[in-house]
């Protein structure tokens, strides 16, 4: 595969090799061993989550007025659903629930946020989680505690919550994450009450 890239790009093999290693390190591409058309072993490269996000970022904004961009976004989401199954894999569910536009708005916010503050383990909004788990949690929960007076135009919290409840995988995920949040909030409340009691005594 690297030799083919070198020929097509008219770049030295060493340049292509080093570039692919760097792209893989940055999670823009990933690779696996496969077989060529001649049935020989070769390393196959494809977009990883970072690369997928870079491509989608360019096309999402144009999807509403450009059918080619819309079709391309759908192709990407369907093709790479396994990279982010509870997000990409739920596009058709939200489309059928008449929430496709909201799905894309939330995806745009997810991608824009990741570009500014990457969801790597140890960083990001939920730094105790792996990247895929952080992205999934952010997609569903980033604005969860301000369902009323929402910043997304014409957002209907009841319709959104009903959609989350009616898909078993999403519902199970939401219950798991909200149980975690409840425990954290309870601990925070206990700490606040302890400090208040101390201050007033």
Are the beta carbons of 161 and 174 closer than 8 angstroms? no
Phi-psi region of 39 (alpha: psi -120 to 50; beta: other; left: phi over 0): left
Q: What does the pLDDT profile of the chain (201 residues) look like in tens digits?
A: 444 444 444 455 555 556 666 666 666 766 666 676 777 777 676 788 888 998 899 899 889 889 999 999 999 999 999 999 999 999 999 999 999 999 999 999 999 999 999 999 898 889 999 999 999 999 999 988 887 777 888 889 999 999 999 999 999 999 999 999 999 999 999 999 999 999 999
The C-alpha torsion from 30 through 35 and 38 to 42, rounded to 10°, is 50
| pTM of the predicted protein model | 0.79
pLDDT score of 2: 45
Phi, psi for residue 48 in degrees, rounded to 5: -100, -175
Integer Cα distance of 156 and 147 in angstroms: 8
Give me the residues paired with residue 42 across strands: 34
């Amino acid at each position: 595969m690297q030799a083919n890239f070198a020929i097509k790009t008219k770049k030295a093999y060493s340049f292509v090799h080093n570039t692919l290693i760097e792209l893989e390190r940055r999670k823009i591409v990933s690779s696996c061993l496969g077989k060529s058309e001649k049935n020989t072993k070769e390393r196959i490269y494809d977009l990883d989550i970072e690369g997928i996000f870079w491509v989608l970022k360019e096309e999402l904004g144009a999807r509403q007025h450009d059918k080619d961009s819309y079709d391309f976004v759908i192709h990407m989401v369907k093709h790479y659903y396994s990279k982010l199954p509870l997000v990409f894999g739920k596009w058709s569910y939200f489309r059928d629930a008449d929430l496709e536009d909201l799905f894309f708005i939330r995806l745009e916010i997810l991608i824009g946020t990741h570009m500014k503050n990457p969801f790597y383990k140890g960083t990001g909004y939920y730094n105790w989680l792996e990247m895929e788990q952080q992205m999934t949690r952010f997609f569903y929960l980033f604005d969860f505690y301000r369902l009323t007076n929402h910043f997304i135009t014409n957002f209907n919290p009841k319709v959104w919550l009903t959609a989350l409840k009616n898909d078993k995988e999403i519902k199970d995920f939401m219950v798991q994450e909200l149980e975690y949040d409840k425990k954290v909030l309870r601990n925070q409340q206990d700490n606040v009450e302890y400090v208040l009691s101390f201050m007033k005594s």
